Amino acid sequence: MTLETYGGLAAVTNLRRPPKVLDTDALPETATAELAQLLTEAAAVPQEDQAGHARDAMSYTITATAGDRVTVLEQSDAAMTPEFAALLTWLKKHFAQQ
Amino acid sequence: MSRARPINCIIPPYILDRLLDSEDSEVRQAALDTLLVTARLRGERAVRASFAGAAAPGNGRRTVFDCEQVESLPNAVLARPEDGPEVADPSVNRAFDALGLTRDFYKEVLQRNSVDGRGMRLDGYVHFGFQVNNAFWDGRQMLFGDGDGRKFKNLTGSLEVIAHELTHGVTDHTSEFEYHNQSGALNESMSDVFGSLVKQWSLKQTAEEADWLIGADVWTPGVGGDALRSMKDPGHAFDNPQFGKDPQPDRMSKFIHLPDTKRGDFGGVHFNSGIPNKAFFLTAARIGGFAWEAAGTIWYESLKASSAEDEFQDFAGTTFQKAGELFGVSSPEQSAVLSAWQEVEVPVRGVPTGVARVRSFASSANGGAGREDGLAALARQIGALNDKVTGLVKDMAALKGTR
């Protein structure tokens, strides 16, 4: 699973940063199950309409690859579903601990 | 954010928000009652935002909310209203103070009543999300992340960043510069210009004394670099292993072409803003004194006179025209504007190249003022005019020959 962050007030610094990569095989079973549940919930809820007048909002792309199946979710700070936010926060907390 | 407020009633919440700003007390009360009933039914706290502003709409009343590290505005907690005392959370107080300074700058310097010119309430949301390295304007209010503490500090720590975001609201209510490509870079530049001016005004700094940095306080000490952007020296705000080198261009020949997508920063709006940023810096430095007085007024009047799709050259022409209207044709202020745009390689429409060259200022090493020698300038002006007359004579002769 990867997390890409781009845009925002500091867009010039985000453009060249590589995505953060999480190898779910290295996670404990409970964490993998929790993450899978969050991913399923985030993918099930349609993205909200983009806020047209948002300025400097940051965007995130979460890509999950399982065999041949690839799930790509993209949302921004200015128009984010609670389900996507929960998944994003989980990932951010995970990466913060690394 | 109003877009996501799950309030179910026949009147859309954004209309209720507008009604809360009404000058008619009965209309305000009716809107407030509707929101109260809806909030009671749903048991949500989203209505607090409307409460605070409804108590006394207008005049840019501030309200700061705490998102408690969640990306949700409806559940945010009221942290400090306009007439509330200082609180224990420094993020709340910093946001509150910066919103106030920005509001006061627009009121006292530019005679503008808040973001929309009609006293719009200023709502700020701190602790937005988990370690969000960003602050942004969502079209209605300001949101501040806490930063990750490793690269970015709490985003409420930078006055010019907060003023930058609020200025996006001002632009939305004036030129409405479209947020992509050159008009988007102008949109970003307006926010940098007035963001920096708010800071300079609060510190009572002259153009020479100011640092002209945007986001000087957002990076942790571990990150090398002065700031996110430098208006004085675009392309040189930072150079470190974490983020590489500041890529902002400072002139048209270095313009960066990026796709008009989110990933492409909508055509590089945060990149190419370096060009008009530098033009403003040069104008202010060459006029001298407090930048918010002459240069700031020229830019503000130009912002109001601009159109949504204007590009750099359009805006350069508008600033030149406004400088002439405000300070006189061929005034030092207008000449400063002209030479500034020339230096960043943006031609000003309607100004013959020869005349523009003559009026230009010789740049000193620090970008400060320094007129060309008057006699030499006059000689070149005469020379340019001579060339034109010679050309015209030749054209006339050629026309006669074809008859």
- The residues spanned by each domain of chain A are 2-97
ipTM: 0.90
Amino acid at B213: L
Q: Does domain B174-372 have CATH number 1.10.390.10?
A: yes
Under the phi-then-psi rule, with left for phi > 0, alpha for psi from -120 to 50, and beta for the rest, what region is B243? alpha
Task: Judge contact between B315 and B275, C-beta under 8 A.
Answer: no
pTM equals: 0.80
Which of A55, A59, A80 comes nearest B179 by C-beta?
A55
Answer whether residue B41 shows pLDDT above 50: no
Inspect the interface and report whether the beta carbons of A58 and B136 lie closer than 8 Å. Answer: yes
Task: Judge contact between B317 and B350, C-beta under 8 A.
Answer: yes
Give A-chain residues touching B218 at CB under 8 angstroms: 9-10
Within 122-141 of B, beta carbons closer than 8 Å to A belong to 128-140
Determine how many CB atoms are found less than 10 A away from the CB of residue B387.
11
pLDDT band at B36 (very low <50, low <70, confident <90, very high): very low
CA distance B57 to B381: 56
How many interchain CB pairs under 8 A, A with B? 124
Dihedral angle over CA of A80, A86, A88, A89, nearest 10? 120
SS3 B151: coil
Task: Find where tokens 């502003």 sit.
Answer: B53
Task: Judge contact between B312 and B276, C-beta under 8 A.
Answer: yes
Q: Which of B29-33, B135-139, B222-226 has the highest mean pLDDT?
A: B135-139
Q: Which residues pair with A27 in a beta bridge?
A: none
Each residue's pLDDT, cut to its tens digit, for chain A (98 residues) gives 999 999 999 998 877 778 999 999 999 999 999 999 999 999 998 876 665 789 999 999 999 998 899 999 999 998 899 999 999 999 999 998 87
pLDDT band at B7 (very low <50, low <70, confident <90, very high): very low
Mean pLDDT, chain B, rounded, equals 83
Chain B touched by A19 (CB under 8 Å): no
* Least Cα separation, residue A29 to chain B (angstroms): 24
Chain B touched by A34 (CB under 8 Å): no
User: At B83, phi and psi to the nearest 5?
Assistant: -100, 20
Rounded to an integer, the average pLDDT of B191-195 is 98
Weakest-pLDDT range from A78-82, B101-105, B206-210, B308-312: A78-82
Per-residue pLDDT tens for B230-271? 999 999 999 988 888 999 999 999 999 999 999 999 999 999
- The residues spanned by each domain of chain B are 174-372
Which long-range contacts does B255-260 make (Cβ < 8 Å, 24+ apart)? Answer: B260/B180, B260/B181
SS3 A63: strand
Amino acid at B324: G
Chain B touched by A97 (CB under 8 Å): no
Task: Judge contact between B217 and B154, C-beta under 8 A.
Answer: no
Please give the share of chain B, as a percent, with pLDDT higher than 70.
74
Please give the share of chain B, as a percent, with pLDDT higher than 90.
66
